[in-house]
């Protein structure tokens, strides 16, 4: 992470935004103390359509209840 003072950050803002856009981080200092951080924005997660989820899960079976119990007991003992 790069650290830069406020006055220099003002003069180089476009360059610093480009750096953040490429995944970099910049810490902005005021009188030698960190006051802000310029970081890239994470893309918003896309919502899953319920129809797509149902299409995937409709073909799955739950199995018998004993299989989970057997796995649990085998692990314990």
pLDDT in tens, 22-71: 999 999 999 999 999 999 998 888 888 989 888 888 877 766 667 778 88
The pLDDT of residue 16 = 94
Radius of gyration of the CA atoms of the chain, in A = 26
Distance CA 3, CA 16 (A): 11
Inform me whether the pLDDT recorded for 11 exceeds 70.
yes
pTM over 0.75: no
Q: Which CATH number fits domain 2-38: 3.40.50.720, 3.40.1620.10, 1.10.1240.10, 3.90.1150.10?
A: 3.40.1620.10
Question: Any residues with CB less than 8 A from the CB of 20 and at least 6 apart, and which?
Answer: 26, 38, 39, 40
pLDDT of residue 77: 62
CB of 23 closer than 8 Å to CB of 30: no
């Amino acid at each position: 992470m790069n650290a830069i003072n406020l006055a220099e950050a003002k003069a180089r803002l476009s360059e610093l935004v480009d750096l953040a856009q490429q995944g970099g981080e910049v810490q902005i200092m005021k009188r030698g103390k960190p006051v802000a951080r310029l970081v890239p924005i994470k893309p918003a997660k896309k919502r899953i359509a319920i129809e797509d989820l149902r299409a995937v899960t409709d073909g799955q079976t739950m199995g018998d209840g004993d299989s989970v119990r057997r796995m649990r007991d085998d692990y314990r003992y």
